[in-house]
Structures are given as structure tokens and as C-alpha cells.
Amino acid sequence: MERLKRMMVKRLSHKNSIFLVLIMILLCYIVLLSMKKTLIVSINDHQKSIVTYSSNLRSSLEKNNIKIGPKDRIYPALKSKIRDGQKIVIKKAVNVYLTVDGSTRKILTSQDNIGDMLLDEGITINKSDKVAPSLDTLIKKGEKIQIKRVTKKTVRQVKKIEYSTIVKKDAQLPSNFMKILRKGHNGRKQITVKQVYEDGKLVSSRVSSNKILKKSKNKVILKGSKNCYYLASRGGSQLTYTRVFHVRATAYSACYECTGKTPGDKGYGITACGTVAKRNVKGYSTIAVDPRIIPLGTKVFVKGYGFAIAEDVGGAIKGNRIDLFFNSYGEAINWGVKYIELYVMK
């Protein structure tokens, strides 16, 4: 009986041990189930789920091979406690290239836009500075950002105001007459210029004001405008002309050899103007001209011949060619051909 009792006690003790072990295993399983957490991790807007038994975010990410760089942004913070089903947001940093103040550098940033990145890097932007792309531009990998430092200056300069020359013409005075009625004086003005520099280089300059300090005084000249030229003196008075021609001068008379007419023939000795051809050494003689060059009736002075009136024409008289009238054939022959100046009298 005693032996049976001992066997029963021994059997019960063994069963209790097994039961206790099972209870402990069950409790561990329950504890593990309570520690299991599923996290939703968003990395640059790409989501995935991870399982962790840790209550610490840093440890959970490390065990799932998710590395957080020094410039990466994460929410909540790495030291935060986590709960099942929690969403973790990670923004990975990217490299951008910033050119400012004469140099280009590479910056690792996880900020959303350029303005936040510059603020995070402690880079000051003045109101007039130019940033390209704009401050609200979303950052992408490899973005090239340029900041131009803009400075404005106001420059004041005193400049000379040069006087003008005013010419007053008088038709009653000859063209070679000139007299200064009033001397000219320069003035002074103050110019205010607004200048804009980008990175120390002048890009624009605008005159904002123009102040007269001293007015200029114009020079006034009196000048004759009578269009005449002085040729020679005749009886103590000057002779004037308006044009000069270099001509080929031949000679003719009323003789048959020159005109094909004899005294008594119709038109003998009569010019194209209907006047009698004449040679008057003390007055005006007759010459033949090309009316396209020298109009009939024009008074002229022929060097070596004297004063004359363009009264006649001739078939061979074309262009700058004239025919001088003489009273006899012999005088005409003696003249021959000469290249001389003809002056159109005023």
C-alpha cells in the first residue's frame, strides 16, 4: 500500500511538471504575440510593412535593415516608442548643388523645397537677391540652385552742359560775313544714377534724376546768307556770280562761212531770241549756248571775252560748249578754240 502511494505521488509530480512547462510555454507565446507589431514605413512616399517585436523605433528599423542617414528626416523621432499599426514617415536626403558667393558646393538635404533647404543650411537670402529656381520649388536629386547677390547703389555725378551755337542768318549780308553777338557759357547738372549689381557685376544703370545746377548760355552768331561770289571789280564795284562753268568756247560771226546766210537773207544776223547779234566790248555781247545748261536770256561773264547775254543757239553747241559772237570772220578765226570759265551773274 505504501509503495502504491509513493508511485502515485511520483506520477502526479511528473504530470505537474509537464503542466507547468506547458503553462510557461503558453505564457511566453502570449507575451510574444502581445509584443509583435506591424509598422507601415513610408520612404520617400513608397510604403512597405515591417514586423518588429521591439518597442523602440530605432531598434525596429535597424533589425529590418532600414538605415537612417544624418540628414534624413523621420517621423516620429527615432527614440520614440512605437505601437502596432503605426505609420513611420522617412524622407531620405538627396544631393543638390548650390552656387552662391562665387563658389559651388554639394549639399545633402531632405528638405521639401529650396527655401527650407537654405534656411536649414543657415544661408541668408536678402530681399533683392535672385534665387533660381524659386524658393518654393520642390527639391529633386541633383538640383542645381543658383543665388545671385543683388546690391543697389546710388551714384551722383556732376556733368557739364555744353552750350549750343545759334546762327542767325541775315539775307541782306554777304555769306562771308560773320559776327559773334553773344559768347557761350557751359552749364552744370547733377545726375543721379541708380545702379544694380549682381555678384559684383554691373547689370543695369538708370538715370533717376537730372538736376540743373547752372544753366548753359548759348552762343549767338550773326551770319550773312546772301548767296553771291565776288569775281572782279567793274568801275569800283564788286561783281557777283551764282555759278561757274568750265566751257569749251568757239567763235562765230554773221558771215556766210559761219551761218550760211548773206546780207539781205531772211534771219541774217538775228539770234534765236529775235535780237540782233552783237559784239560790244563795253557792254553785253551775244553768245550761243545749250539752253538746257544755260537758259536763254542769262547774263554771264566769259573770261577773256567779257560780259554777254545768252541769246543764240547752234546745232553743234551742246553741253558745256559756247559760241562767242564777233563782228567779223577774221576775229572769230583769231579766237579759235579756248577752254575757259563762264560765270553766271547774279
Q: Are both 123 and 160 inside the same structural domain?
A: no
Same domain, 105 and 71: no
Residue 252 resides in a domain: yes
Same domain assignment for residues 60 and 131: no
Report whether 259 contacts 331 (CB < 8 A).
no
Asked whether residue 138 falls in the same domain as residue 164, the answer is no
pLDDT in tens, the chain (346 residues): 666 556 655 555 655 666 565 666 655 555 444 457 787 888 887 888 878 877 777 877 788 888 888 888 888 877 778 788 788 888 888 999 999 988 999 999 989 999 999 999 899 999 999 999 999 999 999 999 999 999 999 999 999 999 999 998 887 776 767 889 899 899 999 999 999 999 989 999 999 999 999 999 999 998 877 665 555 545 545 677 888 999 999 999 999 888 888 888 888 989 999 999 999 999 999 999 999 999 999 999 999 999 999 999 988 899 999 999 999 999 999 999 999 999 998 7
Rg, C-alpha atoms of the chain:
59
The span from the CA of 345 to the CA of 102, in Å, is 79
Residue 14 in any domain: the answer is no
Kindly state the cell numbers that stand for 118: 537654405
Residue type, 128: S
Residue type, 300: V
Same-domain check for residues 260 and 333:
yes
In a domain, residue 25? The reply is no
Domain containing 294: what range? 229-345
- Whether 23 maps to a domain, the answer reads no
> Which of 148, 168, 193 is a domain's end point?
148
Region of 206 on the Ramachandran plot (φ > 0 left; ψ -120 to 50 alpha; else beta): beta
Q: Are 35 and 27 in contact (CB under 8 A)?
A: no
CATH number at residue 122: 3.10.20
Give the CA distances from residue 1 to residues 7, 8, 11, 84, 137, in Å, rounded to whole numbers and listed in that order: 10, 11, 15, 59, 94
> 282 has which bridge partners?
none
CA dist., res. 110 & res. 71, Å (int): 6
Provide the domain count of the chain.
4
- pTM of this prediction? 0.47
Q: Does one domain contain both 126 and 56?
A: no
Same domain, 291 and 277: yes
Domain match, 238 and 278 both: yes
299 domain residue, yes or no: yes
Residue showing cell 561773264: 301
3-state secondary structure of 116: helix
In a domain, 304, yes or no: yes
